[in-house]
Structures are given as structure tokens and as C-alpha cells.
Amino acid sequence: MTNAKMVEYYAKRAAEYEHIYLKPERQEDLKTLQAKLSGCFKGLDLLEIACGTGYWTQFACRSARSIVATDCNEPVLDIANRKHYGDCPVSFQIENAYALENVKRLFSSALVGFWWSHVPKSKLGDFLRILHSKLCNGAYVIIFDNRYVEGSSTRIHRADEEGNTYQIRGLSNGSQHEVLKNFPTRSELIEWIEPLSNHSKFTELDYFWIAEYTLRKNAEQGVSF
């Protein structure tokens, strides 16, 4: 089950969801991510996980053939539905990322932006199994998230016995919320992804990391990055 407090936090944050993308020190990295997503889904049908307000959907739609974008929070999807996505057919669905029960067809690509860090370490295997069950043989997957950068990232408040880390975040209404936010190392990402992939690539920007791979369902299928 998706953490109820996390869902509540992001519902309350919906109207200010995209403020994080205004940090001046992150602009060059954000441009790199935007350019990447604008071109990497050419001819592919995309399943997006935790799409939020559709911020990254609006770049993915520039190359994807079609997009089904999912999130568990109706307030952020209301905002996403008000954006324009050009000629790309885009639909939004309320989904639990650990179930994806109403995703009924298979996709040739997947996008997971800023969600990995919110998955408890004990649930990563479950999340990946569900995601991969919705993908075709040799599907292209791109996952990206934050690196911890002192002075830019919200400081770590505590860690639990599993090694998950948490931040205290404030909203404009003055409320404070404890949010699960993990910062995996490159070796941790490789340990999870390489056994599942035909081909993988890991890129570290100053403020973000990017993992790309093709799903190992059919060993003869792959893609060059």
C-alpha cells in the first residue's frame, strides 16, 4: 500500500509541486534532463509512473508515440490534465505504483521520474516486478532522481533500521511533513538493474542521476544509448 502520509503530503503540495524546478543551481541539469526526455522515446508507447503534475510528461510527449501517465494523487493529475501535450495522445490514470491494476496492456517504454527515492528499500523488488509486468520484451526504461548535494538538498532528518532516510519538508501554509527520500549510490542502482537488463547505462549529473536499460525478457532485444 502506498504510504498514506506521503500521499497526503503530495496532495497538499500540488499547487506548489513545480517550485522545486526553479532552483537556480539546478537549471543546467534540468535542461539536460528535458532534452533527454524530449528525444528518447521515438516511436515508443510510454508508461509513466508517478507523473505528478505532468511536468516531465510535457517533454516526453515530444518523442513518444503515446503516453499513459499514472499517479496515486488526484490533485496533481487535475493540474497535469490542464497542460498541453501537442499531437501525442496522453491519458492520465489514478494508480497505485505497487499494483497498476488498471494498466491492462503492455508498453514498449517506461519513465520513472523522482519516484525511486520515495520507495522503501524493502519494496523496490515489488515495485520493479509490477512495473516490468506491464512492459514488452526489450522495453526501454529510464529512471532518474535526485543526488544528495549539501546546500541544495533538504538535509536528512533521520534514518530507519532498514537504511531508508527521511527529510522534514515545509509547505507554504507552514505545515511540516516527514518524507521518505532515499539517495541510492551508483553501486546500489547497478545491483538492482543490471541483472534485469540486456543493456544499461548510468549517468551522474551534478544534482541528478539517470539510469537507462532495456528489460531482459528477450535476450536478443536491446537498444544502443
pLDDT of residue 10: 76
Instruction: Delimit the domains of the chain by residue range.
Output: 4-215
Q: How far is CA 133 from the centre of its chain?
A: 17
Provide the mean pLDDT of the chain. Answer: 92
pTM above 0.85, yes or no: yes
Confidence at 151, pLDDT banded by 50, 70, 90: very high
Is it the case that residue 220 has pLDDT exceeding 60? no
Confidence at 17, pLDDT banded by 50, 70, 90: confident
Which CATH architecture is the domain 4-215 placed in?
3-Layer(aba) Sandwich (3.40)
Backbone φ and ψ for 67, nearest 5 degrees, come out as -140, 130
pLDDT of residue 5: 75
For the stretch 50-73, pLDDT in tens is 999 999 999 999 999 999 999 999
By the 10 Å C-beta count (0-12 exposed, 13-18 middle, 19+ buried), 80 is classed as buried
Alpha helices in the chain (DSSP H): 4-13, 27-39, 57-60, 74-80, 124-133, 186-193
Alpha-carbon gap, residue 115 to 9, rounded angstroms: 14
